[in-house]
Amino acid sequence: MTATRLDTTQFDATQYKVTTRAQWEDAAEAWHRWGPTLESWLGPATLAMLDAAGVGPGTRVLDVAAGAGGQSLAAARRVGSAGSVLATDISPTILTYAAKVAAEAGLTNLATREIDGETLETLPAAAFDAAICRVGLIYFPDQARALAGIRRALRPGGRFAAIVYSTPAANEFFSLPVSIIRTRAQLPPPAPGQPGPFSLGAPGVLAETLTAAGFSDVRVETVPAPLLLGSAAECVRFERESFGALHQMLSGVPEDERPAVWDDIEAALRRFETAGGFAGPCELLVGSGAA
């Protein structure tokens, strides 16, 4: 994956989204290729998210920041021929993989559309019974605008559910690489309200954010989700190929120094290797509310 440098001296939401789109366009093939790993790792939380959103037979589902669409396919199977799923993402290339996998699975009830998750007002109002977002809301510069768009797209009483990471301490498979890259790139701590993997993970923040956006009957469930792989080296390969957020941060490190940073990350992650393989600590939150 190539990386475009993000200006960290003053956060520019417009440039951030341009960079994010470009990096997901770059990472689309890898994200699709690592699909089995993603579904094994995120599977239990995905089922909890679909339950929390009330996804069932006949449901019309909006998937925001759908990526390669593993959760979109799970929703499409649940809703059946009487329901439908619209998978949206800022990256058109990554959506082609979602469409391809759906076609191969014979799922004719899943459609894709390139839409920025912060411009959902382009969708008809009250057109969906449920909305979902798997590890995407955390990266939106304007989460309030995204949630307002989601709430508008839902029928009254329709439910929204999102998966986010909890705290850095509970997600060291990711927070250790972030910390190492931040130190090597001499990046300041993220400013309050700035998008990032742990932007909604502190105690109470996800519930407060959903409530402030106008959702009622807000619930938050904690889902343990250890990342199980063969080794720390495999985890680094997974993150190096697929995690755009890390590349965005690493753009502040000279290119010839980046391999050494990945070596440092692998060394740090080896503490999670056991006789049975690698078990990276991960804890997810599933937050939901009614429109």
* pLDDT band (50, 70, 90) for residue 2: very low
**What pLDDT score was predicted for residue 10?**
66
The answer to whether the CB of 243 falls within 8 A of the CB of 235 is no
Angle at Cα 192 formed by Cα 175 and Cα 117, nearest 5°? 80
CA distance 57 to 86: 15
pLDDT tens digits along 17-59: 888 888 878 778 888 889 999 999 999 999 999 999 999 999 9
**What pLDDT score was predicted for residue 129?**
98
**Class of residue 80 by CB neighbours under 10 A (exposed 0-12, middle 13-18, buried 19+):** middle
Q: What percent of the chain has pLDDT over 70?
A: 97
CA distance 71 to 6: 29
**What pLDDT score was predicted for residue 68?**
86
Q: Structural domain boundaries of the chain?
A: 13-167+195-228+281-290
Radius of gyration of the chain (CA): 18
CA distance 287 to 211: 11
**What pLDDT score was predicted for residue 234?**
97
pLDDT tens digits along 163-216: 999 999 999 999 999 999 999 988 888 777 788 899 999 999 999 999 999 999
Mean model confidence pLDDT for the chain: 92
Q: What is the CATH number of domain 13-167+195-228+281-290?
A: 3.40.50.150
**What does the DSSP 8-state code read for residue 231?**
-
Residue 11: φ, ψ to 5°: -65, 125
pLDDT tens digits along 214-253: 999 999 999 999 999 999 999 999 999 988 778 878 888 8
Using a cut of 0.75, tell me whether the model's pTM lies above it. Answer: yes
CA distance 212 to 216: 10
Instruction: Give the contacts of 98 (CB within 8 A, at least 6 positions apart).
Output: 66, 67, 68, 69, 72, 73, 87, 89, 110, 112
| Least confident segment among 7-11, 124-128, 188-192, 213-217 | 7-11
CA distance 177 to 187: 13
| Least confident segment among 97-101, 108-112, 132-136, 263-267 | 97-101
Angle at Cα 120 formed by Cα 168 and Cα 55, nearest 5°? 70
| Least confident segment among 9-13, 30-34, 271-275, 283-287 | 9-13
**What pLDDT score was predicted for residue 276?**
92
**What pLDDT score was predicted for residue 9?**
47
pLDDT > 80? residue 8:
no
Segment holding 232, helix H or strand E: helix 232-242
**What pLDDT score was predicted for residue 32?**
85
pLDDT tens digits along 273-282: 999 999 999 9
